[in-house]
Amino acid sequence: MLFFFLFFEFTAFSYLSLAAAPSASSFALSHQAGPTCTTLTIGKNRLDVRLATDPTSRETGLMKESSLGPNEGMLFVFPFPQRVSFWMKDTPLPLSIAYLSQQGHILEIHDLEPFNQHSILSNSTAILYTIEMPRGWFEEHEVLPGDVVTGLPPATIAH
């Protein structure tokens, strides 16, 4: 019984401590703990992205988010190169998504429809990263397949 009480007390304290910790980002970080943001560069463009590095954060993504800044988005990091699929369930924001190789080369870019539950499957089986940005961001910034993203974290942060 003492073990259960100590475990519960530690768990509750840890949860409250995390909930009270200040955010590391200029925009809301509603469902992640630990290193949650990074800055990426594509050509002359800087992006501030939240990190999705575990199954829960990758599944949740930007669901229920109501806004993003003009250069804000989300970077999904996978533990190994693979074919990936994304949908927009419970996501009210119109987004564009880029599928990236292990070296940071953009292989594909797709536009995503809010609330659409149709999956957008990557053509490549070598996707290690994806970036979601406000719809049209890649086109507006003249970012194309073949461009390289720099500042990517190592895949070892993913699990």
How far apart CA 6 and CA 134 sit, in angstroms, is 45
pLDDT in tens, 127-158: 999 999 999 999 999 999 999 999 999 999 99
Predicted pLDDT of residue 139: 97
Residue with tokens 């194309």: 144
Domains of the chain: 23-157 (2.60.120.1140)
Q: How far apart are CA 133 and CA 112, in angstroms?
A: 10
> What pLDDT, on a 0 to 100 scale, did the predictor assign at position 27?
42
Point out the residues of the chain with pLDDT beneath 50: 1-34
- What does the alpha-carbon distance between residue 100 and residue 131 come to, in Å, rounded to a whole number? 8
C-alpha pair distances (Å), 63 with each of 3, 69, 132, 143: 37, 16, 12, 25
Q: What pLDDT, on a 0 to 100 scale, did the predictor assign at position 35?
A: 55
pLDDT in tens, 13-27: 333 333 333 333 334
